[in-house]
Amino acid sequence: MRYHLTPVRMAIINKTNSNKCWRGCGEKGTLIHCWWECRLIQPLWKAVWRFLKKQKEDNIRCLTMFGPFGFECLPHQLVNRSIQQGFSFNLLCVGETGIGKSTLINTLFNTNLKDKKSSHFYPNVELKIQTYDLQESNVQLKLTVVKTVGYGDQINKEASYQPIVDYIDAQLEAYLQEELKIKRSFVDYHDSRIHVCLYFISPTGHSLKSLDLSTMKSIGSKVNIIPLIAKADTISKNDLQKFKCKIKSELVSNDIQIYQFPTDDETTAQVNTSMNGHLPFAVAGSMDEVKVGKRMVRGRQYPWGVIQVENENHCDFVKLRDMLLCTNMEDLKEQTHTLHYERYRCCKLQRIGFTDVGPDNQPVSFQETYEVKRQEFYDQCQREEEVLRQKFMQRVKEKEITFKEAEKELQDKFEQLKRVHQEETIKLEEEKRQLEEEIINFYKMKAGSETFQTQGCASIKKDKERKK
């Protein structure tokens, strides 16, 4: 004889906001609670278990359920697909040179990300972008780390934050352009939008620098900022608490937006609320292992003792790691897309001229807006073309007048030169005539002198002959 378990009750989910158990126990829960965890259903399952155990003792083969069935499998499908595709996360580290950005990132991901040390002599602020493929268990992560180079090293720090703002806007613009394409390829597209900005604050113990305030105020509406007090092992606990309070008051007074851990999820609301009170986190990083007692821990060895990185009594590194990687990584990515990117997209489309409602506060479709903008652009082009045509005709007329005046001047100059040439020709002809007359007279005089000379010689010759 065979016995089979057959589900006899199907779940019917109506559109309701109530998530109380339908069996009437008064507790809130999901389908799993209603079918398994509810105290009213437990006696039924116990009876079924006793029956199946008795059948097993009688060597009767029973139906074995190897896994969930129905739409209960949807979360497993999503998990499997996500694991196959892998995950991506983009970090922006903003802080002065040598403040410990690379060391903290290495400590966060428990790996040695090869990176060259930066110099303090950069003329301008630059960004160094590096991408790493990490794997933990069977989960693959594509990590992009963007670090500031030369930040705070210049004498004039007025525009030190501008390269950071330009880079964040460029990544949002690249995603918007990909989204506006006719043929999009988000499957192969690497989303380079910054998901979180770790802002490293120098442990001065006094207050935030003007550069810190201006930078966080400029990027606060574009990215999720988590402020960190770097090198927390260089300041005492009492001074650290005062420094945290001072930073919080300055952030509020300057209206600087920082990332707040979400409290709308019941599972993480209590932890996130507590962690929001610990901001900014005081962190210290190290990849060196130090022996404390009988075990090896990651920390820093000092003459007066050991700073344990993963000891919550020494620093807030564990809190940062849990909040950043274990609890709120997906919320950071969601906030980047739904809040910061949507704000950038809305402002960009409004600057172009697209709106959701018309002048009469009626919804306007994208096609209608496009046609209106296209007609406005066409009319504007026509007007500009007409203006350019008028300017061109005016310039042509001005050039014609200029050329005519130049031609008249050249003609007058030519007539003048012609008259001068004629006068010079007449003068030369007169001189030539006079010269020819002088030549004729010269030849006449020459002939006369020769005749006279010949006659004189003949007379002298006759006189000589007479004397003889």
Residue 279 reports pLDDT greater than 80: yes
Show Cβ contacts of residue 312 under 8 Å, excluding neighbours closer than 6 positions. 318, 319
Residue 60 reports pLDDT greater than 70: no
Q: What residue has token string 């006369």?
A: 448
The predicted-structure confidence for 334-375, as pLDDT tens digits, reads as follows: 999 989 999 998 888 888 777 766 666 666 676 777 777 788
Dist. CA 170–CA 219, nearest whole Å: 13
Q: What is the mean pLDDT of residues 43-64?
A: 64
Share of the chain above pLDDT 70, in %: 82
Position 189 confidence tier, pLDDT thresholds 50, 70, 90: confident
Q: What is the pLDDT of residue 2?
A: 43
CA angle 287/292/298 to nearest 5° reads 15
DSSP lists the bridge partners of residue 93 as 147, 198
**Residues in the chain, total:** 468
Show Cβ contacts of residue 366 under 8 Å, excluding neighbours closer than 6 positions. 354
Structural Rg of the chain based on CA atoms: 48
Q: Which of 245, 228, 216 is nearest to 317 (CA)?
A: 228
Position 452 confidence tier, pLDDT thresholds 50, 70, 90: confident
Retrieve residue 222's tokens. 């574009």
- Using the 8-state DSSP alphabet, how is residue 143 labeled? E
Q: What is the pLDDT of residue 34?
A: 61
Q: What is the pLDDT of residue 97?
A: 85
Question: Which has more pLDDT, 64 or 45?
Answer: 45
Q: What is the pLDDT of residue 393?
A: 92
Q: What is the mean pLDDT of residues 294-312?
A: 83
The predicted-structure confidence for 456-465, as pLDDT tens digits, reads as follows: 777 777 777 7
Residue 251 reports pLDDT greater than 50: yes
Share of the chain above pLDDT 90, in %: 18
Q: What is the pLDDT of residue 15?
A: 46
Q: What is the pLDDT of residue 236?
A: 83
Question: Which has more pLDDT, 7 or 303?
Answer: 303
Single pTM value for the model: 0.66
The predicted-structure confidence for 196-242, as pLDDT tens digits, reads as follows: 999 999 888 788 888 888 999 998 889 999 999 888 888 888 888 88
Question: Considering the chain, what is the average pLDDT of its residues?
Answer: 81
